[in-house]
Chains A and B, each alone.
Chain A
């Protein structure tokens, strides 16, 4: 996993004895689509403004102004896409799971799941499509059983999802020594009537081996 993340993410470790297990960004390929859209938008703007201002309005100055404006804005957009990608992190520690999404100026979101308050019931790895298989990019879906409802935490478009899934799968049983008493196995306080009757019937059954211990039983 990402060594750089482990070195610098100490501020996110707020609980006693907490250490980072996984720190991962989205796959770099997720940047390709917004960057290519920006590139084609710039190209189409340049062509359209060339046709409009040079051919029809005969204003080279205005054409140059628009080109410079479009390039300035597109540079800002490209920078924003890259910085947003860089500040979007998934962090798994031995006490919690975090999603840090910091978009400078615009938004700031940190979602965390405290692992001693939930029980992990399922870890799914989803890699869809040829390109994702080639690039080893996919989702890791962790399902939690909360006291009130079931909830999913999705690591979207991460690099090497299988390895992350395996690390999580190996780590959660160790984490799962839940100090929270609400997750300790409860004693049975209710038994439905049907189940009770079945158990009574089960007591009446006697296996053939118990009656004839030295004889083997053949079926069919």
Chain B
């Protein structure tokens, strides 16, 4: 019973991170749109932060899948 609850929490968190990745991609797209609409150039640091954010969230998904697989095996 305890294991079932813990596994469901893990899957819930994984789903949450997948949604966050989707949000991050959408956010990047909308930021580019805002940049074009207002004709304001984003500083390189902020662009890097957005890219790093997406990269980190993808890394988080891969890491969690790897973690779950290693736990299952």
Contact = CB atoms under 8 A, between A and B. Distances in A.
Contacts of B40: 5, 8-9, 86-87, 89
Interface string A98-111: 00101011001000
B43 to A, nearest CB: 8
A64 B64 CA distance: 8
B38 A9 contact: yes
Interface in B45-73: 46, 49-50, 52-53, 56-57, 60, 63-64, 67-68, 71
Given A62-B6, A83-B31, A11 B39 contact: yes
B60 A105 contact: no
Contacts, number: 97
Contacts of A83: 27, 31, 46, 50
Contacts of B26: 105
A11 B38 contact: yes
Contacts of B53: 75-76, 79
Interface in A46-60: 57, 59
A89 B37 CA distance: 14
B17 A100 contact: no
Contacts of A166: none
Contacts of B52: 75
Contacts of B21: 72
A65 interface: yes
Interface residues of B, number: 38
B30 A69 contact: no
A114 interface: no
A8 B41 contact: yes
Contact of B6 (A57, A69, A87): A57
Contacts of A21: none
A61 interface: yes
Contacts of A59: 6
Contact of A75 (B2, B37, B42, B57): B57
21 contacts: A8-B40, A9-B40, A59-B6, A61-B67, A62-B10, A65-B9, A65-B14, A68-B17, A68-B60, A69-B16, A71-B56, A71-B60, A78-B49, A79-B49, A80-B27, A83-B27, A83-B31, A100-B38, A102-B34, A102-B37, A104-B31
Given A71-B56, A75-B52, A79-B50, 18 more contacts: A5-B40, A8-B38, A9-B38, A9-B40, A64-B67, A66-B13, A69-B20, A72-B17, A72-B56, A73-B16, A82-B49, A83-B27, A86-B42, A86-B46, A87-B40, A105-B26, A105-B30, A108-B34
